[in-house]
Chain A
Amino acid sequence: MKLLSIRLHNVRRFTAPVEITGFGPGVNVLSAPNEQGKSTVFDALHAVFFEDRKSWKQEIKSLVPHAGGTPCVDVEFEDAGHVFRLEKSWTSGRKGSVRILRDGQLFKQEDDAEAWLQERLKSPKDGGPAGLLWVRQGLIDLEDKKGDTLDARRDLLSSVTGEVEAMTGGRQMDTIRAECKQALAQFVTGTGRPKAGGRLKTAEETVEALELKKTELSNKAKSLRDDLDRRNSLRRERQDLEDPQETAARKDRLSKAIAAHDGAARHAAMLERAIETEESARIRVEAQQGRIEALDAQLQEATDAAALLAEAEAGFKDTTDRLRIAAGTLSDAKTTQADAQQRVETATLQHRAALAAENAANAAERRTELQQRLTKAEAHRAAAETLQIAARKGLAPKDLEEIERLWMKVTLARNVRDSEAAAVTMTYLDGRSNGVRIGGTPLPDGQRLPLPDGAMLDIDGIGQLQIHPGRSGEDNSVETAEAHFYEALEAEGLGDLNMARQSARERAEAEANLRETRAALNAVTPNGIDALREQLAAIPAPMEAAEDLPTVSEAEREEVVARQALAEANLALDAARIAADTAQQAETRAVSALENARGRAERARIALASHADPQAEHNRLSSELTTLQLSLQASRDARARLALDAPDLEAAAASLQRAQSAVDAAEASLQRIARDLAALDARIAMHAAEAVDEELADVMTRLEAAERKLEGLRFEVAVLQRLDTALEEARASARDRYVEPVLTELAPLVRMLWPEAELQFDADTLLPSGLVRAGTEEDFGVLSGGTQEQIALLVRLAFARILAKAGNPAPLILDDAIVYTDDDRIEKMFDALTRQANDLQIIVFSCRQKAFRGLGGQTLSIAPASEATQ
């Protein structure tokens, strides 16, 4: 679609008809100061295309002039090879009108016209291009920050092409995904876990709770059934126990057992008595036998005691003799041992004295040797001290070396002076020797005599010859060297060089002697004189030698012999003591035996003393024993007869016990059963009242239903998750297809403003999210207003271009859309506009007349409508 002209009548300030004509392809610029009606034209254009003729909302009412009137807007545009004229007016009461002429002929009117327009130019609400291609002042945001960002995206997205809309699913896709996610959110969290309080979680918890309840009730039901079985068992047991025949049989068995036991007990008592009678008779017989045996024993004891006493008396005498002999032997042994002991002590003392004397002799030798070494050492040390003093007095080698060096300098200075000084050589004529003198001393003959200081020569017979030294007399280097030389000698206390040399030799000799002396001293006392003295002091003082001492070896031999004698004496003494002790013990035993024998004999005598005639007594007792033995045999016969036919009392008691036990056990069992039954009855009654089976049956059916429901809910969740995944994957695939052409179209535009820059698109909103420059991504929101404005416009240009390529070109209308852009950047924007305008119609409304002058393109103006259009 391409606009050709617009005519306004009764639209705000334009109460009189005005028109804008001359719209051409490419860029069209309507540049005028503020308050000239540019926005009015924009609003009128928007209204004529997108506001229904019946509309009377604020946007339409705002078009009515202050003075009133019916807003009328006529637009001519070209589309699909035809020229259309759209005439629309709005009145209160929703009675506006619209008609469309195509190539001068009436094409559509009223509702048909509106429908055609709506189809042709979808409104922004329907995803039409207005949001993209109609850009108001300051509307630079691509995202509607206050509203639904998705709508903003839709404006862009759906503006491009219906194919993109279909490709990504459009709002329908969003709606379905939202519904799917909403439905899913009722069941699970974002991570896929059952949502707390949600139906799935509740169903899971219900199943879990019912399973627990089922287990609990099953256990209770089993317990109840077990109790019922147990109760039945107990009742049968009680029934058996209470059976009359059984009860009577138990009682009969008990009665018979009691009777049998009583009879056996009576027989046993009789037998017991017979046994007691027999026992009494036996005791009497045994007592009589005892008395006879006692009398026999007394008689035998008297005989034995007399024999024993005689033997004891003999034994006592023998032991007394042996004791006396042993005492004598012991006394001798003690004397011998004491002598041997004395000899050992004496020998030991002699041995020790011999050893002491030997040690004293060794110490004296050592002292003498040390004393000699000390004397030598002290002599060496005194010599060394003297030598050391002598060495210190002498000239040190380095000092001598210094004096020699200074003397060399003197000699050298003298030689130099003499070689440079005036000199005379006197050659005497014969007979005139010593005729010339210097300082009173004759000049030697033929010898060159330098005269560095000049001289006065006395020439005999002639006079005096004055020799002037010339310049050489001024040289004092000899004196200086000599001064240094003699200062050095004087410092050492020496008169000349020879003395110095002699002093140095003496020192060297003293030092050599000193070393020899010290070596000798060291040889005598390696550890020093003090150590030597200490050694000497450590040797004990000499002892006075004893006389008549044996040698050590002699003393040792004597001590060994004495000790051997002592050992032998000790052995003999021990043997004597043992023998004495043995004899003493034997004597003691003999005394004791003698006393015992005497006592025994006395007791035997006393025992027999009560019998006047022991043998007669013995005969009487024997006769009575015979009578008692006959009585015992009679008792034995009677007891044997009773024992022969005695009933088994233990068996009878066992029978009685068993019969009684059976009766008692039956009674106890009945009592136990009664208690158990009471407890079971109570428990069963309690469980029965709880309606356990009924509850269990209910829980099982509810569990079954709950499990089915849970299974259904899990299936439902799986279905929704599957659908969500499928939608997401499809959307992602479509998104890739969508973004690519937009980026392709946008890239050259972006580079016109920012070489090397690249726009980033948000994966969800499909809107530019940032600008990457020099490798750094800047979020769209933090870019400057100018940059945001430029990007927004470039994106729209890109979409408009895609729209045009899709065969649905639409004019891009900008109402002061570039307000933040500086002069430099606006030139580039103009380039971008011009570039895109090749196959687009771009209409720019601007108050920046000066700035937009450089945009070029077709210049528009608002002018009173011509007669032809009125």
Chain B
Amino acid sequence: MTEFRFIHTSDLHLGKRFGNFPEEVRGDLVQARQSILASLANAARDHGAAHILVAGDVFDTETPSDRVWRQALTAMGATPELHWWIIPGNHDSLTAENLWQNMVDHAPANVHVLRAAEPVEIAPRVTLLPAPAPRRFPGADLTAWMTSCATPDGHMRIGLAHGGVLDFGSDDGNSETIAPDRAETAQLDYLALGDWHGVWTLNDRTRYSGAPERDRFKHTGRGLCLAVTLPAPGVIPLVEEVAVGRFDWQEMELQLTPELDPLAAFSSLLPEKRQTWRDTLIKVRATGWMHLPARMRLAEAVNQVAPEFCHFEFDEHQLQTEYSPDDLNEIARSGALRLAAEQLQSAAEDEDAAKWDRDVAAAALNRLYGFVKGAEQ
């Protein structure tokens, strides 16, 4: 009995446009998403696998543009020695009949769209039990049928499904659930799941591959796929995580205190290898308190490094400014500027005022400080 190797992936979300990012970033992310198919093919070749199992959500919507699905087919067809086994997920469910009919009609021979919940022998003595999503919210455990589905003796049984498991929220927050012991009850050698965008191991035989190209800060790091080896029926599979995503998504918190050197703390958060910054998206959430000059220096530091990243978000909504007499002295020791600064500081610290007004006053004081320093230069 020869072992069976394959790549487990899901949630490609091709066609996602990333409208919440700036135009130039958006272009990079979309391009990377389209390139992920080639990266997966490379991973399969590297792993010695001839099959790539896609556990749903190949497309981001049920009506991707022709450009998206046609280019996807072209990319998959470019590696005829690899077989792509695809099921619809909740984002591109079977409700999208036209999409899947087009896929079937135009698919090259190595691309297999599985629209029915019925066993398919994808390789000698290897049977795939697919659970395509009939609609966005199917309302039932789509893998239930696998338990009663008989396959020839000696066949490896691989389940392929999309959705959440019990006590495991879907990324879309719906309540569709797959029995966590499905692999055991259905005597599956491996249950390849999709929907969760991060890698998740439920048990030895049940895993989420995560998205091969990340699309949000919720799941940090680069996108992965799983290189799976089934040694023989009934034997625990061997699984290896393979990094295939281009962009590294990082979200981190910068905790500050007036005594802390903000620049050093900030620098310590940044990836060591500067050459990776180009392909890194960072979201820094600054929290705590700091003095006005330090805040200005931190802002300058952020402005310095931000352009070097693919995308850099500096969220300072939770960062408070602590004003000292010296801070105001740096604006002016006396006179009208000092008067204005004191008035703004008073407004910023007025507990009776609305939060918006306090925030505005505090920001105005910061801006005054910035103008003064700018004028001095």
Chain A residues with CB under 8 Å of chain B are 163, 165-170, 172-173, 175-176, 179-180, 224-225, 228, 231, 684-685, 687-694, 696-705, 708, 715, 718-720, 722-723, 726-727, 729-731, 733-734
B360 touches A719 (CB 8 A): yes
Q: Is B129 an interface residue (CB 8 A)?
A: no
Residue from A684, A694, A727, A729 within 8 A of B98 (CB atoms)? A684
Kindly list 12 other residue pairs between chains A and B, CB separation below 8 angstroms, not including A694-B61, A720-B364, A733-B339: A166-B335, A169-B332, A169-B336, A172-B332, A172-B337, A691-B64, A697-B17, A700-B19, A701-B19, A705-B20, A722-B364, A731-B336
The yes or no answer to B62 lying at the interface (CB within 8 A) is yes
Contact of B337 among A697, A702, A730 (CB under 8 A): A730
Interface segment, one of B112-120, B165-173, B279-287, B369-377: B369-377
Residues of B within 8 Å of A731, CB to CB, are 336
Query: CB of B241 within 8 A of chain A?
Result: no
Q: Is the CB of B99 within 8 A of A166?
A: no
Q: CA–CA, A702 to B25, complex, Å?
A: 13
- Cα distance A691–B96 in the bound complex, in angstroms: 11
Task: List 14 A-B pairs, Cβ < 8 Å.
Answer: A225-B95, A691-B66, A694-B64, A697-B16, A698-B17, A702-B20, A718-B356, A722-B364, A723-B340, A723-B344, A723-B364, A723-B368, A730-B337, A730-B339
CB neighbours of B303 from chain A (8 A) = none
Whole-angstrom distance between the Cβ of B7 and the nearest chain A Cβ:
26
Q: A168-B336, A731-B336 are contacts. A699–B360 as well, Cβ < 8 Å?
A: no
> B19-61 interface mask toward A, CB cutoff 8 Å, 1 = contact, 0 = none?
1110000000000000000000000000000000000000111
Contact between A715 and B360, CB atoms less than 8 A apart: yes
Q: How far is the CA of A65 from the CA of B68 in the complex (A)?
A: 85
In the bound assembly, the distance between CA atoms of A26 and B16 in angstroms comes to 85
Inter-chain contact A176/B65, CB cutoff 8 Å = no
Partner of A734, one of B339, B364, B367: B339
Which residues from A are CB-within-8-Å of B99?
688
User: Is B344 within 8 A of A694, CB to CB?
Assistant: no
- From A166, A172, A694, contact of B68 by CB (8 A): A694
Contact yes or no, B335 A169, CB < 8 A: yes
Given A166-B333, A705-B19, A734-B336, does the pair A697, B60 have CB atoms closer than 8 Å? yes
B371, A179: Cβ atoms closer than 8 Å: yes
Contact A702/B367 with A684-B97, A694-B64, A718-B360 known, Cβ cut-off 8 Å: no
Contact between B95 and A176 (Cβ–Cβ < 8 Å)?
no
Max chain B Cβ within 10 angstroms of own Cβ: one of A170, A702, A726: A726
- When C-beta atoms are compared, the residue in chain B nearest to A688 turns out to be B98
B343 touches A (CB below 8 Å): yes
* Secondary structure type dominating chain A contacts: helix
B contacts, CB < 8 Å to A: 15-21, 59-66, 68, 95-99, 332-337, 339-340, 343-344, 347, 356, 359-361, 363-364, 367-368, 371-372, 374-375
Distance to closest chain A CB from B323 (angstroms)? 14
* A176–B372 touching, CB < 8 Å: yes
CA distance A231 to B15 in the complex (A): 26
Query: Do B63 and A224 touch (CB < 8 A)?
Result: yes
Give the one of A176, A180, A228, A718 with max B CB within 10 A. Answer: A176
Is the beta-carbon distance between A694 and B65 smaller than 8 angstroms?
A: yes
Q: Are A691 and B68 in contact (CB under 8 A)?
A: yes
The reply to whether B96 and A688 contact each other, CB–CB distance below 8 Å, is: yes
Does B336 contact A701, Cβ atoms closer than 8 Å? Answer: no
**Main DSSP-derived SS at the B contact region:** helix
In the complex, what residue of chain A is closest to B59 when comparing beta carbons?
A694
With a cutoff of 8 Å between Cβ atoms, the chain A residues found around residue B333 in the complex are: 166
**Smallest CB gap from A171: residue in B:** B375
**Chain B residue nearest to A705 in the complex (CB):** B20
Cα–Cα, bound, A482→B363 (Å): 135
Closest-CB distance, B151 to chain A (whole angstroms): 29
Q: Which residue of A lies closest to B362 (CB)?
A: A719
Q: Which residues of B contact A715 (CB under 8 A)?
A: 359-360, 363
**Complex interface: chain B residues within 8 A of A228 (CB):** 95, 97
Question: Closest approach, in angstroms, between the C-beta of B11 and any C-beta of chain A?
Answer: 14
In the complex, what residues of B have CB within 8 A of residue A693's CB?
61-64
Are A730 and B343 in touch, CB under 8 angstroms?
yes
Please give, as numbers and ranges, the residues of chain A lying within 8 Å of B98 by CB-CB distance.
Answer: 684-685, 688-689
The 7 closest A-B pairs by CB, nearest first: A702-B19, A693-B61, A698-B17, A701-B19, A705-B20, A166-B335, A691-B65
Chain B residue at smallest Cβ distance from A681: B98
Give Cα A730 to B344, complex, Å. Answer: 11
- B219 CB, min distance to chain A CBs, angstroms: 17
Decide: B63 and A690 in contact? CB cutoff 8 A. Answer: yes
- Contact partners of B361 in chain A: CB under 8 A: 722
Q: Which residue of chain B is the closest to A169 with respect to CB atoms? A: B336
A689 touches B337 (CB 8 A): no
The closest CB in chain B to the CB of A166 belongs to: B335
Q: Is the Cβ of A697 less than 8 Å from the Cβ of B20?
A: no
A170, A175, A687, A698 — most chain B CB neighbours (10 Å) = A698
How far does the alpha carbon of A224 sit from the alpha carbon of B98 in the complex, in Å?
Answer: 11
Which chain B residue shows the least CB distance to A704? B20
| Chain B min CB distance to A686 (Å) | 10
A175 close to B339 (CB less than 8 A): no
A52 to B374, CA, bound (A): 28
Bound-state Cα–Cα, A869 to B63, Å: 100
What separation, in Å, do the CA atoms of A693 and B59 have in the docked complex? 11
Q: Contacts A176-B371, A700-B19; is A167 near B336 (CB within 8 Å)?
A: yes
Would you call A691 and B63 a contact (CB within 8 A)?
Answer: yes
Q: In the complex, what residues of B have CB within 8 A of residue A700's CB?
A: 19
A720 to B361, CA, bound (A): 10
By a CB distance below 8 angstroms, the chain A residues around B339 are 729-730, 733-734
Contacts of B347 in A (CB 8 A): 722
What is the minimal beta-carbon distance from A209 to any residue of chain B, in angstroms? 13
Nearest chain A CB to B234's CB is how many angstroms away? Answer: 40
Tell me if B66 and A689 are in contact (CB < 8 A): yes
Please, how many angstroms separate the alpha-carbon atoms of A593 and B153 in the complex? 124
Q: How far is the CA of A172 from the CA of B372 in the complex (A)?
A: 7
For B96, B334, B336, B340, the residue with the greatest tally of chain A CB atoms inside 10 Å of its CB is B336
C-alpha gap A734/B337 in the complex (Å): 10
Select from chain B the residue with minimum beta-carbon distance to A167: B335
Q: Do the beta carbons of B375 and A176 come within 8 Å of each other?
A: yes
Q: Is the CB of A726 within 8 A of B343?
A: yes
How far apart are the CA atoms of A702 and B16 in the complex, in Å? Answer: 12
User: What separation, in Å, do the CA atoms of A698 and B20 have in the docked complex?
Assistant: 8
- CB-CB under 8 A from A718, the residues of chain B are 356, 360
- Could you say which residues of chain B place their CB within 8 Å of the CB of A719? 360, 363-364, 367
Instruction: Give the distance in Å from the alpha carbon of A688 to the alpha carbon of B364 in the complex.
Output: 50
Q: Which of A169, A231, A720 neighbours the largest number of chain B CB atoms within 10 Å of its CB?
A: A169
Residue contact A166 to B334, C-beta cutoff 8 Å: yes
Give the shortest distance, in Å, between B313 (CB) and chain A (any CB). 11
Closest A residue, CB atoms, query B359:
A715
A residues near B64, Cβ cutoff 8 Å: 691, 693-694
**CA separation between A412 and B345, bound complex, in Å?**
130
Bound Cα distance A610, B375 (Å): 150
Q: Which residues of B contact A701 (CB under 8 A)?
A: 17-20
Q: How far apart sit A495 and B336, CA to CA, in the bound complex (Å)?
A: 131
Q: Chain B residues near A224: list those with CB within 8 A.
A: 63
Contact yes or no, A694 B17, CB < 8 A? yes
- Interface residue from A690, A720, A726 paired with B340 (Cβ < 8 Å): A726
A722-B360 contact given A176-B372, A734-B335, CB 8 Å threshold:
yes
Contact A176 B337 (CB under 8 A): yes
Name the residue on B nearest A701 (C-beta).
B19
Q: How far is the CA of A700 from the CA of B334 in the complex (A)?
A: 50
Q: Contact at B340–A694, with CB atoms within 8 Å?
A: no
- Interchain CB contact under 8 A, A729 and B68: no
A694 touching B364, Cβ below 8 Å: no
A residues within 8 A CB of B336?
167-169, 173, 727, 730-731, 733-734
B375 cross-chain contacts in A, Cβ below 8 A: 172, 175-176, 179
- In the complex, what's the smallest C-beta–C-beta distance from A678 to chain B, in angstroms? 14
Contacts of A170 in B (CB 8 A): 335
Shortest CB distance A146–B (Å): 26
Residue of B nearest to A224 (CB): B63
A815 CB to closest chain B CB (Å) equals 34
